[in-house]
């Protein structure tokens, strides 16, 4: 629990950014803002970004473990 608690702040900021992204690109009908992207497209983009984020951690870890320079 204590180990994972250290990332709570960063994850909270990340989720807040995602919520604002959804609000501005696919706002509610009563907000008066134009819808720039369909909600499904935004959900797909966020899912793809999460998958890429998970994969790039593995690639960067592999790369850093095999780097022999200072």
Q: Model pTM greater than 0.85? A: no
- Cα→Cα distances 1→4, 5, 6, 11, 13, Å: 5, 6, 9, 15, 19
| Assigned domain for 24 exists | no
**Number of domains forming the structure of the chain:** 1
| Assigned domain for 58 exists | yes
- Cα→Cα distances 16→9, 13, 20, 53, 55, Å: 11, 5, 6, 17, 22
pLDDT tens, position by position, 12-42: 998 898 899 889 999 988 888 999 999 999 9
Indicate the SS3 state at residue 42: helix
| Assigned domain for 42 exists | yes
The yes-or-no verdict on residue 64 having pLDDT over 80 is yes
pLDDT tens, position by position, 35-51: 999 999 999 999 998 89
| Assigned domain for 46 exists | yes
Q: Determine the structural domain holding residue 58 and report its residue range.
A: 37-70
């Amino acid at each position: 629990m204590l180990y994972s608690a250290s990332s709570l702040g960063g994850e909270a900021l990340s989720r807040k950014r995602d919520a604002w992204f959804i609000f501005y690109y696919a706002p509610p009908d009563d907000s008066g803002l134009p819808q720039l992207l369909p909600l499904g497209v935004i959900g797909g983009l966020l899912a793809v970004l999460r998958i890429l984020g998970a994969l790039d951690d593995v690639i960067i870890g592999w790369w850093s473990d095999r780097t022999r320079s200072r």
